[in-house]
Chain A
Amino acid sequence: MVHLPSIPSRNGSDNCADPALVMSVDDLSASYNGAPALHSVSFDVYRGERVGIVGPNGAGKSTLFKAIVGLLPHHGSISIQGASCRQSHTMVGYVPQHEAIDWKFPATVWDVVMMGRARQIGYILPPRKRDRHAVRAALERVGLWGLRRRQIGELSGGQRRRVFVARALAQQASVLLLDEPFSGVDAQAETEIFDVLDVLREEGVAVLLATHNLAQAATHYDKLMMINGGRMLAFGPPQQVYTPANLATTFGDRIALWQDGDQYIMIADKPCHDHDDYQHAHSHARPF
């Protein structure tokens, strides 16, 4: 029984000109519990792009996602385009933080992925053949077909995240928002997640991924967004964005940078309260 406010209407039907443009966010502001939490954010996302959203805890990463999904009241426009401009409602997939999901829920891998088909199935009706085909295809794509009868709580950390990626595929989302998928996972799961992100790229699904893993940020994303205090501080390809100046403004005194030859050594030794940050501390950044 979560409080879910009504969704403001979208004006995403007028711009179909650029087929590669998947999502266009313009002047987006949102408030959280009455307090402004996101200030005038604008950016574009293209087909198959992988955008890393970096910032300390409380920077506004989750707020940005919730505003895009429509979970928070917001101003500004978000237009989402896929194959058809009219169907934008099913075009965004959202994977909440791991802790927000009830892993004991009596549902199998199959059941969870089938949930993504609800809109295509329609109200009241049961799933049809094409829905079962879509679920099967999605499960095979992420390598979980063999585990489809498992209850979701019986999966490993990497498998759990793959289930939700499969659901986004079954949903035929053109944008997938992943909120901290790397928090609390081991190296094995991290590899699995990146593998499945490659699948999404092949399928042309754009991914927005909130993370505070700075070590990955330089290498694993097509674009980076630096965010703090609800403001977008930088957005663009990592070579342009991942600079000491930007890191310093984004993380403030939580991060220390030293130059060592052509390498920067970055020490985040005053991290946030989240224990996950600990594992990312003392990571050596690659040359900028």
Chain B
Amino acid sequence: MIVLAASLGTLLKEGWAVLMHNIDVLLLEPLTYPLLARSMEAAIIVGIISGVLGTYVVVRGMAFFGDALAHAILPGVAFMYQRTNGRTDDLFWGGLAAGILSALGIGFLTRHEKIKEDTAIGVVFAASFALGIAMISRIDNYAGDLTHILFGQILGVSQSNLNLIRLFGLGVLAVVALCYKEFMIISFDPTLARTLRMPSELFRLLLLVLIAVTIVVSLQTVGIALMVALLVTPAATANLMTRRLLPMMLVSALIGAASSIIGFYVSYHQDIATGPAIVLTATAIFVFVFVEQQVIRALLDLGQGARQRRLHPAGDSPH
């Protein structure tokens, strides 16, 4: 008996050691490479800010705008690419300029009620994307670089690049914290903003610019083509789980960060491109939460039905 217990103890101890060793290999080893550690930090920042800004994208129904804006920054990136031979820091500034200009442009264009918003977005942003592709296509051997811009190249995050991501990430969060109340009002009830004489148009444009900055900051991690998933999926998941804006934002940021971390490791160990790995992780979390809620609801209904049948054996619903 004692022998059995003792051997069980050693078995557990050994198992624990193996697990710890694996955790070390699985989770900590990648971070010993500075490049990977930088990429990981960048991915986490991107997960958090796109989760926070994505909350506005989801509650305001701006998914198409977010997708289009991500594509519209391409000419800026392509312009800097031609001039600097692909230095990532400079691509950042090119993207930022194009993103802010596009956001403001669409902001002004959609002031006119004669053009429907989605129509304006469709016209302007597709043209902008085409212009970017045209610019890049003039460069020899452009396919590989275009792939990085479209689908992200997180492993190319340099230290100065990470510093930019930190700076702009913090900036975006700070502005959201300061204008939280105003952004909520213009999102829920723009008419109230007008009756309170708030400069609601200013806040709307500011919000569009913040979304543009978020997209540019996230460019290296997921790239242009998948950006909309980071803006929409974590926030949509959070929307299922919460009933107030601030909790939705926090949960969305948490899911964004978790998707980035899990996606990053999956990408490292399974040799999958990082952007898609992060996006698929976020999608998996969404599906899990959605299905779980459906199942719980179904079970609750079932339980209620059974209780009612017990209470009203005749089969009449009390309603």
Contact = CB atoms under 8 A, between A and B. Distances in A.
B201 A4 contact: yes
Interface in B188-234: 188-198, 200-201, 204
Contacts of B248: 106
B60 to A, nearest CB: 7
B308 interface: no
Interface in B228-279: 239, 242-245, 247-248
A59 interface: no
B195 A92 contact: yes
Interface string A85-107: 00001101110100011100111
A111 B245 contact: yes
Given A1-B204, A3-B112, A4-B201, A106 B242 contact: yes
22 contacts: A1-B110, A1-B204, A2-B190, A3-B113, A4-B190, A4-B200, A4-B201, A33-B113, A69-B191, A89-B196, A90-B196, A90-B197, A105-B187, A105-B188, A106-B243, A106-B247, A107-B184, A107-B245, A118-B192, A121-B181, A124-B178, A126-B181
B109 to A, nearest CB: 10
A94 B239 CA distance: 28
Interface in A97-139: 100-102, 105-108, 111-112, 115-116, 118-119, 121, 123-124, 126
A71 B191 contact: yes
A24 interface: no
A102 B197 CA distance: 21
A73 interface: no
B27 interface: no
Contacts of A71: 191, 194
Contacts of A96: 189, 191
Interface in A38-70: 69-70
A156 B117 CA distance: 32
- Of listed B65, B243, B244, residue having the most chain A CB within 10 A: B243
A33 B113 CA distance: 8
A49 B62 CA distance: 41
B196 A7 contact: no
For the complex of A and B, the 9 pairs showing the least CB-CB separation, nearest first, are A89-B197, A151-B243, A119-B196, A2-B190, A106-B248, A3-B111, A106-B245, A105-B188, A124-B178
Given A115-B185, A118-B182, A107 B111 contact: no
Contacts of A2: 190
B254 to A, nearest CB: 16
Given A96-B191, A118-B182, A107 B244 contact: yes
B59 interface: yes
A90 B193 CA distance: 10
Contact of A119 (B59, B197, B204, B243): B197
Contacts of B112: 3
B179 interface: yes
Contacts of B62: 1
Contact of A106 (B59, B117, B185): B59
A171 B189 CA distance: 14
A116 B192 contact: yes
Contact of A7 (B65, B117, B178, B194): B194
A33 B114 CA distance: 9
Interface string B53-95: 0000001101001000000000000000000000000000000
A94 B244 contact: no
Contacts of A118: 181-182, 185, 192, 196, 198
Contacts of B182: 118, 123
A108 B244 contact: yes
A106 B201 contact: no
A35 to B, nearest CB: 12
Nearest to A91: B195
Contacts of B188: 102, 105, 107, 112, 115
Contacts of B204: 1
A223 B59 CA distance: 40
Nearest to A177: B195
Nearest to B198: A118
Nearest to A6: B201
Contacts of B60: 1
A106 B239 contact: yes
Contacts of A89: 195-197
Interface string A70-88: 1100000000000000000
Contacts of B189: 96, 101, 115
